Each structure stands twice: as structure tokens, then as C-alpha cells.
Amino acid sequence: MFNIGDQVVYPPYGAGYILSIEEKRFIDKKEMYHVIELLCEDLSVFVPSKQLSSKNIRFALGIQGMKNELSTINVKEYNLSVHPINKKVNYYEKILLTGSIKSTFGIMAAILQKKRRERLNQTERELYTKFYNFLLSEIIVTEKVNQQKAETLLDKLLIELLNQ
């Protein structure tokens, strides 16, 4: 499925590269592992190869792939009054675990719309930051840019989404 050097996203940690594919032995059982170097976490993780899909690990999208996803988002589907963030943090954390670009952008847009109307509470700001950094890591990996440039690109995508 994934090869060494592939750019991947490991929800909720962010984006990185397949560093290696190794066979490891634990308690007389051999198993293949994909080693993922997570860029923003400065961490390498060993994921059993047979669990890659159940962990929602996917290929990283570049800016163009993200733009394609944006065109399918209806921000009205992400109504924060139905699922208030301060009362449904686990609901939103589970969405982040799916690694869905569409859902991540949709929720971020809903939070930004709320921010236009009123002040965000601490939980909403923290969740927004977590989602933002998740997408930011994907842009840094796929576009091979520094954090400042990635922030500029992500902010443009969010403005584009809010103006749909």
C-alpha cells in the first residue's frame, strides 16, 4: 500500500513520510511495520502494516488535492449549534481521527463563521488550533515549504472556503 518515501497523514498526529518498512519480532511473532516519521511531532512511530487502514493512514494531499476537496464542502452541514464544541469535544476528536480533509475543513469553517459573530471559548480555540496544525503539517510535507509559507497557503484555502 505505502512505500518508503511516501508522504502520508497519520490522524490525529499529522503528516510525515514512510521512513522504512521493517520486520520486527515480539514474543515469537514476526510482523511487518511501517515506520512513519511525523514532521511536526518530531517523532517516528512504528505502525503494524496490517493496521494502516484501520488507523486511517492515507496519502497526503497537496494544495491542489485540498482545493478539490473544498469544492465538495457545504459549510452548512457543520452546524456548531447541533454539536456545540464545548459539550461535544469527543465528537470532534473522533472526526479528526478519521483524517478526513473535507470534515476537517468543514469544522474549521464553521468555527471561523462563529468567530465572525462572537468570541470563541477556550475549547473552541484549542480545537481550531489542533485542526489547523493537522492541515498545516500536510501542507508542509506535500509542498516542501516552511511553516510561515504553509500558514499563508492554508489561510488562503480557508478564506476561499468561507467565500464559497
Per-residue confidence in pLDDT tens, the chain, 164 aa:
899 999 999 998 999 999 999 999 888 889 999 999 998 778 999 999 999 999 999 999 999 999 999 989 988 888 888 888 878 888 899 999 999 999 999 999 999 999 999 999 999 999 999 999 999 999 999 999 999 999 999 999 999 999 88
Domain ranges of the chain: 7-59, 63-162
DSSP annotation string for the chain: ---TT-EEEETTTEEEEEEEEEEEEETTEEEEEEEEEETTTTEEEEEEGGGTTTTT-EEPP-HHHHHHHHTT--GGGS-TTTS-TTT-HHHHHHHHHHT-HHHHHHHHHHHHHHHHHSPPPHHHHHHHHHHHHHHHHHHHHHHT--HHHHHHHHHHHHHHHHT-
CB 2 within 8 A of CB 57: yes
The phi, psi pair for 48, rounded to 5°, reads -55, 130
7-59: which CATH number, 1.10.10.10, 3.30.565.10, 3.40.30.10, 2.40.10.170?
2.40.10.170
pLDDT tens digits, one per residue of 40-81: 778 999 999 999 999 999 999 999 999 999 989 988 888 888
Q: What is the CATH number of domain 63-162?
A: 1.20.58
Q: What is the pTM of this model?
A: 0.92
